[in-house]
Structure 1
């Protein structure tokens, strides 16, 4: 089930909020702490035909209640008499509010600033106290900026316990918990009705859960592929994969998360039965360190942007360089090896540039490298066997293909910038750092008459490469649609 929170400030608006939430949610959380005046709770319960969860949170638990504690307890007792489907009670006061009628009890542990669970005993103690307080469901709320911070919550929901568990992770990995909670049988997950109404930054909306994450078809048998990041570009790629998997009848979904420490990452993935990890486009050194072996094409130290658990170990793959080079070769045309003996200039000095040098070299291009940080560019050329070209010599260098691979690239005549006069036809230009969006450098290239590889082409190529590497199938033809 989806639980949508409504936080009305007046009794008149409360019914409208409840009605709006009832159209998309399965369970509605009515937060009494936001109301200026005492409500007629029975009247509000009659406003919709969906089950309602009554809450009244103190400011220390993230709510708006600033009145007397005894008054709050009296309001909660009055709410139970109205017999809502559910009522939420804080762990420390649940014993003061007795069970009444058919109303079921959510006993909640909340820590807004630090996670619980340094030891297994702490988690177990919460369950014991909740059970003693006559709980039907235990709820945990705490900060989850990373997988490590969310881990106690995730490991708790993945285990079978006498009491069901729901949770609200505060931060990006709260979404991670929600999707895993669906897999492991949490009674409901929390969502905002729409953007701008989130309970905390990063909380998914009902539309996000439906359109991007396809949460309704997640089950106990669903295989998760972890993906690093929560930015708009990553979420768009997640949406494509999940839609394609559902269309192809595959019980697999992408699981967005973030991490800081890789020392326990493999163990966490294995416990959560995560089958693969999608890294940042162009490869991630930390992800590469987790690879027990790499695909043959990457050699011993080629950049890894996809890890898959196969044959008892983690195997590294490279997908972006394939997608970008395929798009380049399609734009060039002319045989099986369009880049063969062509002069390829890679602009950039970071992991993305290293990836493209690696790929273009394997396709027999004559690769040179240049960048705003000349010392870094010289070192990269030495490491990869490419030719180093100082920035001041770019204009006089023969170039057939320009690969822009610097996310921080600036155009201009100054030191560390790329002089736009370098870009001239018939150079073919691609910007692999652009993601799905156009860039200033590509716009400049077009204005100067250079043919370009459109970012949308590379982006869809990456989507197809990832889908094929993970599932062994081609991306369904009905999925690829222009924006």
Structure 2
């Protein structure tokens, strides 16, 4: 009978032909999950046959994120049993259901995965592991209301591993991402992935190519967790930047997006997940260091081991200082007042640069900006995070046209409205991507040298 690989890839494509092409391209480390509820009009036996039996067959209820009506439970089970004629390698049956007689007879050639999706706020995994139903593998799915909730899975996953139980336990939602990526580290036997050419089947499900790039299947029990914490962070460049450097340095670390906007919740999560290294982004650059007893703003934290004291740095300041040293001297217009603006202000002061800082709380007139005649403009507001965001303080930017020679954009995107304004005006632009790479390189060095794990 077919073993269960680490990656189970849900075929979520709108058309079956697309799903079939995707399934045929999967390697030995990935098994397609055939969701019959996503192709309700197709013959289950024919779908299994098209996949040459190499699949996990599921038919998910609407209340558990599927499309099969909850009120037609008998029809759902009957539809699922029709797939048995195709002799699939694996079949998913809900944890609390009795095994239908026809499935029991087929267990000479079909392996059984028992699954349960619990309500938000429910964490009954440890109790369920003490009363397992019949099956060869088990899946428990909850919901992450707080980032630290992921840590509640570590003990039961380790227990299952130590007792030879093939279990996957993870949390849905953006805050549940660590439980999916750290599954092997914590003791899980498999995890679910979205197809690279199709949508995720559940909130927080990661593409197969992402899990492969992070080498999630190869992570060992001793691997430490680093990440970028803040909100939003799910589209951060950090994982693509840091993980290859960890791998090249043979460092037992993985770097993930950690979605969190509150300092108290973040501190709780650092302990629950034994985080070793952090890139801090908005809105936590000031509040999180303060909650840890450190003076901010800081964008980088690291420690040798869980429970050890934190060390901190501001690699944003290092990157800006390096860029500023290569820019024409003269007064500067600084836009914004948050953590990045405070960092920029400190660097400008240390460099002896005259500047005028402007924000919604600290407005300035067009006349004041014109009188300053700034040679440079530093964009340190949050405008630009969303594609529809306008350039900040357009009337003040217009007042700089006669004098400005350069501009710095802190948002790590190429196409912000401010960057477009700078390029159209012929200014020398230091884009956010350049600042990101400079500060991230300094972060990677600290993580590799200062965090636990073998190097």
TM-score by length of 2: 0.81
Provide the C-alpha distance between the structure 1 equivalents of 2:222 and 2:431, rounded to a whole number of angstroms.
Answer: 38
Question: Which ranges of structure 2 fall in alignment gaps of 5 or more residues?
Answer: 1-5, 385-389, 451-455
- Note the alpha carbon deviations across 1:218-277, whole angstroms, 9 max, x for none: 333322202225858843221011122223333322121223554464454345332112
* Aligned with residue 362 of structure 1, among 337, 347, 350: 350
Q: Which residue of 2 is the match for residue 237 of structure 1?
A: 238
- Note the alpha carbon deviations across 1:446-473, whole angstroms, 9 max, x for none: 4444333233322221221221222249
Task: Flag the structure with more relative contact order, 1 or 2, with Cα contacts below 8 A and sequence separation at least 6.
Answer: 2
Provide the C-alpha distance between the structure 1 equivalents of 2:227 and 2:338, rounded to a whole number of angstroms.
Answer: 24
Q: Which residue of 2 is the match for residue 127 of structure 1?
A: 129
Alignment of 1:79-94 (within 5 A): 79-80=83-84, 83-94=87-98
2:383 corresponds to 1:408: yes
SS at the partner of 2:60?
coil
Q: Which residue of 1 is the match for residue 108 of structure 2?
A: 101
Q: Which residue of 1 is the match for residue 142 of structure 2?
A: 142
- Aligned-pair distance for 1:306? 1.5
Q: Which residue of 1 is the match for residue 359 of structure 2?
A: 371
* Aligned with residue 175 of structure 1, among 174, 177, 190: 177
Give the ranges of 4+ consecutive aligned residues of structure 1 lying more than 6 Å apart after TM superposition.
none
- Note the alpha carbon deviations across 1:419-458, whole angstroms, 9 max, x for none: 41223345432122x2132433343334444333233322
- Aligned-pair distance for 1:104? 2.6
Provide the C-alpha distance between the structure 2 equivalents of 1:411 and 1:68, rounded to a whole number of angstroms.
Answer: 53
- Note the alpha carbon deviations across 1:50-73, whole angstroms, 9 max, x for none: 732111222222222237423433
- Note the alpha carbon deviations across 1:142-167, whole angstroms, 9 max, x for none: 33364145443455435545433214
- Aligned-pair distance for 1:3? 0.8
Provide the C-alpha distance between the structure 1 equivalents of 2:159 and 2:348, rounded to a whole number of angstroms.
Answer: 47
* Aligned with residue 9 of structure 2, among 4, 9, 23: 4
Provide the C-alpha distance between the structure 2 equivalents of 1:244 and 1:62, rounded to a whole number of angstroms.
Answer: 37
Q: Which residue of 1 is the match for residue 453 of structure 2?
A: none
Provide the C-alpha distance between the structure 2 equivalents of 1:445 and 1:244, rounded to a whole number of angstroms.
Answer: 33
- Contact 2:44–2:80 (CA<8 Å) still a contact in 1? no
Distance 1:232 1:216, change over 3 A: same
- Contact 2:10–2:33 (CA<8 Å) still a contact in 1? yes
Question: Which ranges of structure 1 fall in alignment gaps of 5 or more residues?
Answer: 294-300, 333-338, 378-388, 474-483
Distance 1:446 1:203, change over 3 A: same
* Aligned with residue 346 of structure 1, among 320, 334, 338: 334
- Contact 1:109–1:126 (CA<8 Å) still a contact in 2? no
- Note the alpha carbon deviations across 1:83-126, whole angstroms, 9 max, x for none: 43322111221455664214332221113x52312xxxx33232
Provide the C-alpha distance between the structure 1 equivalents of 2:446 and 2:37, rounded to a whole number of angstroms.
Answer: 50
Alignment of 1:30-41 (within 5 A): 30-37=34-41, 39=43, 41=45
Count of matched residue pairs = 430
Provide the C-alpha distance between the structure 2 equivalents of 1:286 and 1:454, rounded to a whole number of angstroms.
Answer: 26
2:428 corresponds to 1:451: yes
Distance 1:271 1:440, change over 3 A: closer
SS at the partner of 1:408?
coil
- Aligned-pair distance for 1:398? 4.7
2:104 corresponds to 1:116: no
Superposed CA RMSD = 3.3
Q: Which residue of 1 is the match for residue 407 of structure 2?
A: 429
Provide the C-alpha distance between the structure 1 equivalents of 2:233 and 2:259, rounded to a whole number of angstroms.
Answer: 14
Q: Which residue of 1 is the match for residue 190 of structure 2?
A: 188
SS at the partner of 1:452?
strand
Distance 1:124 1:425, change over 3 A: same
- Contact 2:392–2:418 (CA<8 Å) still a contact in 1? no
* Aligned with residue 440 of structure 1, among 406, 417, 431: 417
Provide the C-alpha distance between the structure 2 equivalents of 1:39 and 1:101, rounded to a whole number of angstroms.
Answer: 23
2:226 corresponds to 1:225: yes
2:31 corresponds to 1:27: yes
Moved more, 172-181 or 62-71: 62-71
2:313 corresponds to 1:306: no
Alignment of 1:11-22 (within 5 A): 14=16, 17-22=19-24
SS at the partner of 1:330?
coil
- Aligned-pair distance for 1:357? 0.9
SS at the partner of 1:284?
coil
2:47 corresponds to 1:47: no
Distance 1:6 1:366, change over 3 A: same
Q: Which residue of 2 is the match for residue 276 of structure 1?
A: 277
- Contact 1:287–1:305 (CA<8 Å) still a contact in 2? no
Moved more, 237-246 or 92-101: 92-101
SS at the partner of 1:467?
helix
Provide the C-alpha distance between the structure 1 equivalents of 2:140 and 2:168, rounded to a whole number of angstroms.
Answer: 7
- Contact 1:28–1:50 (CA<8 Å) still a contact in 2? no
Q: Which residue of 1 is the match for residue 398 of structure 2?
A: 420
Distance 1:282 1:72, change over 3 A: closer
Q: Which residue of 1 is the match for residue 311 of structure 2?
A: 315
Provide the C-alpha distance between the structure 2 equivalents of 1:171 and 1:427, rounded to a whole number of angstroms.
Answer: 45
